[in-house]
Structure 1
Amino acid sequence: MCKLLKVSRSSYYKSQNPVESKRSIENKRLKEEILKIYNDNKKRYGAPKIHKILINQGESISLKRVQRFMNDLGIKSIICKKYKPYSSKTKVEERENILKRDFSTTTINEKWVTDITYIHTLRDGWCYLASVMDLHSRKIIGYAFDKVMDNDLAIRAVKNAYECQKPGKQVILHSDLGSQYTSSKFAEYISEIKFIHSFSSKGNPYDNACIESFHSALKKEEVNLVTYYDFNAARLAIFQYIESWYNRKRIHSSIGYITPQQCEDMARKSA
């Protein structure tokens, strides 16, 4: 048969028992690792973060190759629609914007930002989360969750952050012009702890972009994927998202692809 077809015996037997190439074996291994990282992080990571993890693990792989493998596997990060601000016709008194979109810091407890977002439950309807972020570490350092959106909710979130962080110097706290933050009760508390209060300009959510980004991630990666039965179910899910995932496991490109907790720990060690 080999003589008839003018094919060498070695080529014939090689075709009958093909040996998988090293490149093919490596591709399969990398795809398995990419899929593992993707699933370990609850399908929340896209190619850039998966690529960074692979590099940290000692792999030699380009971002484009990770993107191609993810496409082959049919996987991608959860995507949310870009936040579109809308102008309100309600008359709001302008307050001083001290931050002026300068989110730069040299260490922790210099600049904090805070805001409130809405979370729906089947039995208890709308519930409200007030969050406080340290701009240096991007860590959520304080939060409060309740069925009512009032002054106390906003104050509790800041109070939790203050008691947790125990800042030894004056902090700039930035918020929007919501009634909870412009109330006399909130102002009294801010004065009591000797913070400087900075406010976003009217109709400018980009002035508070970092905390807006956190709430967007929370909705994209957790809230919009499930339906909460009641307040307690939502509260537990938010606690797990912030404490177990966002602060301690989720890497952030803005702080060099480390977690907020790692960033805070590094700042405390260098202090």
Structure 2
Amino acid sequence: MSELKAKNGNVYVSAIFDCFDLMPLGLAIEDNMKASICCHTIENARKAYPDIKGCIIHSDRGSQYTSIEYRAKLQKYGIIQSMNSAGGRCHDNARCESMWARMKEELFFSRGDRSENYTMAEPKTIIWRCYMSYWANRRICTANAGLPPAVKRKQYYQRAGIAA
């Protein structure tokens, strides 16, 4: 989860990224960081990928991810929770933290712009479009040999179909 400041409050972003191709599977953007934002992220991932059952979702040890509400949502959809057994292992979440930093830099900071210049509704739209359109379909990703996540995913399924 990440936070952006806006003119009239804070905006919180929760996302699930596939470690295979960095595709954003689920995204929720709200004005609070309660467990419900993480549950909405799971629900959005489930809507986009109905066969998500059995996947492993890793998170930090924040109260949102240890809540009864969140764990019930994971159990409902058959998702396996992965979490450090002890705190202080920041490298486990490094990939996601890096993606948050890139998003903020590319959307706001590199343009000399600040998220504080926008109302809460504006960053929600900007972030949604960034991840669900640009990031997934057009952004060059070095972890994918220079391919956007959706292109790598499409190539994988095409090769899998040939192999089958």
* TM-score normalised according to structure 2 size: 0.88
Structure 1 counterpart of 2:107: 222
Measure the CA separation in 2 of the matches of 1:161 and 1:264.
Answer: 16
RMSD: 1.5
1:167 aligns with 2:56: no
Q: Which stretches in structure 2 are left out of the alignment for 5+ residues?
A: none
Tell me the number of residue pairs that the alignment of Structure 1 and Structure 2 aligns: 155
The higher relative CO (CA closer than 8 Å, separation ≥ 6) is in 2
Report which of the two structures shows the higher radius of gyration computed on alpha carbons: 1
Q: Report the residue type matching 2:4 in the other structure.
A: I
Give the C-alpha shift of residue 169 in structure 1: 4.7
Match of 1:154 in 2: 38
In structure 2, the residue matched to 1:120 is 5
1:62-83 Cα deviation digits (max 9, x unpaired): xxxxxxxxxxxxxxxxxxxxxx
2:15 maps to which of 120, 131, 136: 131
Cα contact 1:120–1:126 (8 A) shared by 2: yes
Residue 90 (structure 2) pairs with residue 205 (structure 1): yes
Q: Percent identity?
A: 23
1:231 corresponds to which residue? 120
Cα shift readout 1:213-242 (whole Å, capped 9, x = no counterpart): 111110111132423421111111112211
Determine the C-alpha separation between the residues in 2 that align with 1:267 and 1:156: 28
CA 1:239 to 1:179, structure 2 compared with 1: closer, same or farther past 3 Å?
same
- Contact kept in structure 2, 1:117 and 1:128, CA below 8 Å: yes
1:28-56, Cα deviation, whole Å (9 max, x unpaired): xxxxxxxxxxxxxxxxxxxxxxxxxxxxx
CA distance in 1, matches of 2:53, 2:78: 9
TM-score, normalised via structure 1 length: 0.54
Select the structure that is richer in strand: 2
CA distance in 2, matches of 1:240, 1:191: 29
Matched ranges for 1:10-29 at <5 A:
none
CA contact (8 A) 1:119 1:128 kept: yes
Q: Work out whether residues 128 and 149 of structure 1, in 8 Å CA contact, stay in contact via their aligned partners in 2.
A: yes
User: Equivalent residue for 1:12?
Assistant: none
Structure 1: gaps of 5 or more residues: 1-115
Of 64, 85, 88, which aligns to 1:180?
64
CA distance in 2, matches of 1:190, 1:243: 22
Q: Cα gap change, 1:242/1:148 in structure 2, threshold over 3 Å: closer, same or farther?
A: same
Q: How big is each residue's C-alpha offset from its partner over 1:57-105, in whole Å with a ceiling of 9 and x where there is no partner?
A: xxxxxxxxxxxxxxxxxxxxxxxxxxxxxxxxxxxxxxxxxxxxxxxxx
